[in-house]
Structure 1
């Protein structure tokens, strides 16, 4: 299975244009798991500084300032001062004492955001109203970006009303056809996020169409290899099983019928899909057919990068910011004020 090929970002990685910026499903939704994350973020000692990159439309600016008023983040607004001020005034948004870093273009805003991270002035980034590619190009630039040894990947956090745990779906927005090495990083990124949010050791299901290894279905072979990699310490911090079909990953009844005995089957918390198409369709199915609320975060860079949608519900937007704040504090505990 080949790794994803390049478009405008890097020779080895392509981003589906704003694939994470999907419309929200209609109807009111709530989920205790998201509410818990939001409340925990409110209780962090000191606000986490988050760079809001190009907050030049109402949804981007309003979400950040709403979270600031709820004590979830300290916003650093990166974009044209005059336009940001005009949007705030026309939409009745109180900017309070928010810092504004005045730059003229989305490309400059993305570059300045990276600089602010490197200088320690912000500890997470959030996409405003610029294109995902522009922001991610700056983040993963080999020369000046925020790359680490880990492959960058995306996680959807999905709060499904009928499922007690948050469900992580990965990767549904960045790596198109990940090979085994990239899948290892995708899995490790998701595990680290789960643990970093204080949700404990996760149960990780490596999804395919079937639960047996079939050489004609490459995803089943990768799933088996990833399980062995976990046994050998190449993946740490989670309990892996796979290949598992979707039904026996999340339904204890389906797993029982299939005779699958596993600590993961029927109780999965992280769903790792074989490729981006499968992940994107799975996430959208949960949102539109299962009524899930969603949050999204890019992992693998030196700070979390939040990709919010203009159609996100208030709770989903706050949940995304809460995830960013909690995980940023986990990655950079030195940013917490002295008690």
Structure 2
């Protein structure tokens, strides 16, 4: 199966899953819990009431419109203040979700950014003529907007029709106006529910345009997605050439161990290390893992470290999740930290 394909499957009780396959290989995965699950969901927009301050951390806990509580960095907040907040990511088990006091209204082609004024075009869009065209659309899209409202044209807008981009910006503006008008009163309320996995997939995986979208009760089974998910339940990841690595998450960190397997030939360690570098972003993405990761590469001399580090940089440059490569530890391991924006697969599968 060649090309890019998005598969969407309804898992029952309102749970939704979406998978991105490229040439038949699973490249990304989103799984939402059942509708009855009270877990706050990323991108949900709330009119929230500050209830408690933690001065030492410069943080505040706020009551959301669904009755749950989230926290945000708000050193100037006071109990009773009403704020427009957006759930930033899935909460860690037993913890309140982090909130963003600067919500973003996100579409396929554009973003509205209150508090960050100006019309901008994503850096990834190339070509003077194309950037000029999109800049003109962005400028027109902000006509008559509040002074503090900003707009960003996303990379997916490259070569898209003017009418499609203009239409989406108009929809985002209408959503923003409606939500802003609802920011009244002293009772917490849900202003806008979070998009489900299917909506996020069709929005965020649209660049480049998928060749097909398949939906149905057996879409995952037919396309081999459940088989790929079964592999993700195991720590071991087989690599080209006979080597392998283990990827295991603990409460404190992600531990990655790279092994040459039965290959003891000259250069085996470097080959498996480079293969691990290429595969690691995909494994972390599909497993929904974030936080600190420590990689124990197969034994390599110090002179070979730069080649491995360069391979890691290339691999993570293409990954959509923000990752910072911290470098080598005194014991010769490599450390990185990754934004916790995904829900760990082991938690999602308990719901799905």
TM-score normalised over the length of structure 1: 0.27
Higher radius of gyration, 1 or 2:
2
* Higher relative strand content: 2
The answer to which structure, 1 or 2, has the higher relative contact order (CA under 8 A, 6+ apart) is 1
